[in-house]
Structure 1
Amino acid sequence: MPLDRFDRLLLNLVQEDAGQTTERLAEQIPLSPSAIQRRLRRLREEGVIAREIAVVDARKVGPSTLFVVSLKVASERPELLSELRGWLAAEPQVQQAFYVTGEADFVLIISAPDTAIYDALMARLVSDNPNVERFTTQVALSVLKRGLTIPVPLNEPD
């Protein structure tokens, strides 16, 4: 689906705050609120907007520590990787998971209230996935930036 300049501007704005009204968006994009509403519906239907979520301030809901984990697998056989991917996707504490090149095979961002809960999660991960050869953990001491925004260029690529 081709995206025009208005679609691209709209995508950038709703990634920053999906709760903006169409009237508020119309103040920033030279389109009517009804035109913006039609574009948003189309972007959702076409899957360009995959989902809309609420960003929760972790400090206000209880303790939370971020762990950056590098996983090394013993074998990259497709069925074993698929099993591990499914396990990671189903685990709510795994915030992000990346299949990567280099020393590690996967890099994970895990959120847990404390190290005991993190240790239990990793014990389950290794127990449920014997293909996991080893993992290393880094604890985030502070969060400088956190987000999922995809910068959408305003002009169509050539």
Structure 2
Amino acid sequence: MRFFSARGAQYHCRMTLDRFDRQILNLLQEDAVQTAERLAEQVALSPSAVQRRVRRLRESGVIVRDISVVDPKYVGRPTSFIVAVQVERERPELLAQFRAWLAAQTHIQQAFYVTGEADFILVITAPDTETYDALMARMVGENANVKRFTTNVALSLVKRGLTIPVPAEPAD
């Protein structure tokens, strides 16, 4: 169920998931294009019941979106960079501006606001180091609040995923 605050920000109420919902979530995370019929066979429900549950999981915000995972080397983005960014000041308006800038950059796959020495950790994909250098030059040039950043170049991929393990029963 979706709710809106007085300022129009969207938020979701916490939804209770039963064992069927949990099974469906795990199955959809493995293959989001499975038919309701195929899912129904695996969770012992009717296809229409599965469709209703999937619709409810989407409408309530449990399922955020369905995506296809693309191998970066086939689309000309073979190099990955993991970047730690430090900012000068953590004033809310400066952080909001920087977050908006990060969200608008197509080369940035993931951006985390974190604790520790860095303030943000970025996962960036690019065709080459020149493209990465240009992005970082823009980041520093367009965000005066960036103090410094350090870069790690990924040598090989060990694991890639966004799957969230959903236990069969809720944790106490």
Q: Same fold (TM over 0.5)?
A: yes
Q: Which residue of 1 aligns with 2:161?
A: 147
Amino acid paired to 2:143: N
Measure, in 2, the Cα distance between the counterparts of 1:49 and 1:4. 15
Task: Give 1:70's aligned residue.
Answer: 84
| Higher RCO structure (Cα 8 Å, ≥6 apart) | 1
Question: For the residues of structure 2 that align with 1:29 and 1:9, how far apart are their CA atoms?
Answer: 7
Q: Tell me if 1:134 matches 2:148.
A: yes
Q: TM-score, normalised by structure 2?
A: 0.89
1:62, CA displacement in angstroms? Answer: 2.2
CA shift digits 1:74-119 (9 cap, x unpaired) = 1011111111001001111110011111111110000111000000
Correspondence for 2:121: 107
Q: Equivalents in 1 of 2:107, 2:117: separation in Å?
A: 23
3-state DSSP of counterpart to 2:169: coil
SS in 1 for 2:67: coil
Please list, as runs of the form range in 1=range in 2, the aligned pairs for 1:10-49 lying within 5 A after superposition: 10-49=24-63
CA distance in 1, matches of 2:36, 2:171: 27
Distance 1:60 1:95 in 2: 16
Q: CA RMSD in A?
A: 0.9
Q: Tell me how far 1:143 sits from its aligned partner.
A: 0.5
Question: SS of 1:97's equivalent?
Answer: strand
Q: Which whole-Å CA distance do the structure 1 matches of 2:131 and 2:38 have between them?
A: 42
Q: Distance in 2 between matches of 1:60 and 1:110?
A: 16
> 1:57 aligned to 2:67?
no
Identity %: 68
Match of 2:112 in 1: 98
Q: How many residues align?
A: 158
User: Deviation string for 1:130-158 (max 9, x for gaps)?
Assistant: 10000000000000100111111110222
Q: Give the unaligned 5+ runs of structure 2.
A: 1-14
- 1:157 maps to what in 2? 171
